[in-house]
Amino acid sequence: MPNPLLQDQVKSVCLSEKPRSMSINCPSNKITRILKAYYGYSWSGDCHFIEKDCIVDVPNEDLSCLGEGCSVKIIDSPIILQECWNLMASYIQIDYECIPVEELQNMCTIQESERSVGYIVTPSYPSYLDMDLSCPCTLSAPKGFTVAVEVLDFRLPSCSQAGLTLWSDSATYTHCLTIAGGVLPGSESQNISMRLHSETRKLNAGFLLNHCQFVN
């Protein structure tokens, strides 16, 4: 469910320059969302991705985002890409987008939404997940339509410390820890009730969800 109003952006650096880190920043009225961060080997000697390059994802623990900016810790050279026939990485690249703050709905303040499309975030996303949260929220669609929720970023502590519970079509789903992109299980229904709970404070945690309505 991509947003056609957002334009993907790219930043890349040659590893021959031996960078120790890499930063990307959006304007102050937007937050940064990393779409993909990866090391690559360029067959043509370029310092950015082109078709047929072999790439390997940057480990999640090397990524850090605080509001409008993100940083990537670059491991010491040479970086050997085992998945790429043990070739040495020649560049690092980040594909990202800048999401306007006004498009974000705080999970703990909206309570109910009938928007046809929108974003839902945890409070203080992506800097940290706060403690002592218990936030209900309902997404509703008109008759003949279904709501679907897509995971853009989902990083919560263990299930005993935090979680997102969904109720739809008489079924209950609880999600915690890390979830890869895709439609959130249990989130396709005319009406979806959700509750975020958190018992602990954790840095670089929270979630960013995209919801939309479609005709049955």
Query: Of 73, 100, 127, which residue constitutes the final position of a domain?
Result: 100
pTM higher than the cut 0.85: no
CATH number of the domain that residue 14 is part of: 2.60.120
Residue 106 belongs to some domain of the structure: no
Are 130 and 63 contained in the same domain? no
Confirm if 149 and 123 have CB atoms less than 8 A apart. no
Query: Of 51, 69, 100, which residue constitutes the final position of a domain?
Result: 100
Residue 105 belongs to some domain of the structure: no
Are 117 and 204 contained in the same domain? yes
Confirm if 31 and 101 have CB atoms less than 8 A apart. yes
Number of domains in the chain: 2
pLDDT of residue 6: 56
Q: What domain range is 207 assigned to?
A: 111-215
Are 129 and 196 contained in the same domain? yes
Taking the C-alpha atoms of residue 120 and residue 206, their distance in angstroms, rounded to an integer, is 11
Taking the C-alpha atoms of residue 103 and residue 164, their distance in angstroms, rounded to an integer, is 21
pLDDT of residue 1: 47
Residue 51 belongs to some domain of the structure: yes
In what helix (H) or strand (E) does residue 97 lie, and over which residues does it extend?
strand 91-100
Are 94 and 172 contained in the same domain? no
Are 82 and 124 contained in the same domain? no
- Average pLDDT for runs of 10 along the chain of length 216: 62 93 90 90 94 93 81 90 96 93 90 90 90 95 93 91 90 90 88 95 91 91
Residues with Cβ within 8 Å of 53's Cβ and at least 6 positions away in sequence, in order, are: 40, 41, 42, 43
CATH number of the domain that residue 149 is part of: 2.60.120.290
Are 163 and 126 contained in the same domain? yes
Residues with Cβ within 8 Å of 4's Cβ and at least 6 positions away in sequence, in order, are: none
Are 93 and 142 contained in the same domain? no
Residue 96 belongs to some domain of the structure: yes
pLDDT of residue 67: 67
Are 152 and 205 contained in the same domain? yes
Residue 125 belongs to some domain of the structure: yes
Are 89 and 144 contained in the same domain? no
Residue 1 belongs to some domain of the structure: no
Are 56 and 147 contained in the same domain? no
Are 128 and 34 contained in the same domain? no
Query: Of 65, 100, 135, which residue constitutes the final position of a domain?
Result: 100
Are 86 and 128 contained in the same domain? no
